[in-house]
Structure formats: C-alpha cells, structure tokens
Amino acid sequence: AEYMGVLLGLSAPPQVIKMTRQGVTVKDVSADAFIKEYAAHLKKSGQIHPPANHNVIKTAKFKELAPYDPDWYFVRAASIARKVYLRRGTSVGQLQKVYGGSERRGVMPNRFCKASSGIIRKILTDLETAKIISKVTTEGGGREVTSEGQRTLDSIACKLVNGEKK
C-alpha cells in the first residue's frame, strides 16, 4: 500500500518524531544492561583504575581462579555503584553477603561463604574519589550516592531507555 497522504492531498509523508523519555532513573532500567553500559563508561572515563594485580585476584575465598573477563573490575564497580544507588547506607559487610556464594568443601556439605572484603573496599574508595558515592555520616554508616553520582547514573539510564549509543 502506498502512502495514504496522497489521498488526503499531502505532498510528503509526515516526519517521524522521536519521543524521548525524561526523568528516567536506574530503577527503570534492567540491571544487566545498566551494569554493562556503566562499566564501559567507567573504563572509558578513566575515573577508576584497577589494581596492578587485578588479573590474578580472586573475588572470594571459595573461588578457584580469578575472573576470566579482563574488565571484571569495572563490571564489579558498576554493580556496586548500582547497589549503593538502590539502597542508601550499604556497607562492606552487606556487599560481601551479596557477592558471596557457595563454598565447596569436598565431601562435606556446601556452606555459604562471603566474598572478599578487600576488593569491595578498594572499589568503594575508588568510587568515593570519583565523587560517585560518599560515606554516610549518620544512621550507622555505610555509603550513599552523591548528587553528582546520581546525575551520572541517571544519565546512563536515560541513554539506555532512549536508545542512544555513543
């Protein structure tokens, strides 16, 4: 079928207007897509630098090897930033539980084991120096997202929702 505007007397087809959505937050975007995009942003911006031995560091004592992905540090930093965004006052111990897993103990039953606190603490201090998060001074401690960090995280989420790829 041809363009229906010919029947109405219009000379050219109407232009498609791209609708953009404003006010998008991290909560509106899938976790997987956001973490992947924000990890690429952290790597490209150079705000965070992995430690020199990041290719041999295990993320927990129950792991046998270091992660295979060479950019795992940026992915974990993006994931931690998202967790702190979603829940104010998140501490190192809480993040250890989130990233923990099942420890295989041979013939004995498996048990839950926490993740390494050193990596989590290093990533949190890196995010603090990048002004993404800051320490909570009241209500028992933990970390919270700064206004600058919230603006950055929300802009990444907005790009994902609006379909922009830069």
The answer to whether 158 and 87 are in contact (CB under 8 A) is no
pLDDT of residue 162: 84
Owner of token pair 């084991």: 113
How far, in Å, CA of 125 to CA of 134, rounded? 9
Looking at residue 163, its pLDDT comes to 81
Residue 7 has pLDDT above 60, yes or no: no
**In this predicted model, what pLDDT tens digit does every residue of 153-166 receive, in sequence order?**
999 999 998 886 54
Residue 144 has pLDDT above 60, yes or no: yes
Residue 125 has pLDDT above 90, yes or no: yes
Task: Supply the mean pLDDT for the chain.
Answer: 87
Q: From CA 102, how far away is CA 98, in angstroms rounded? A: 12
| The pLDDT value given to residue 1 | 47
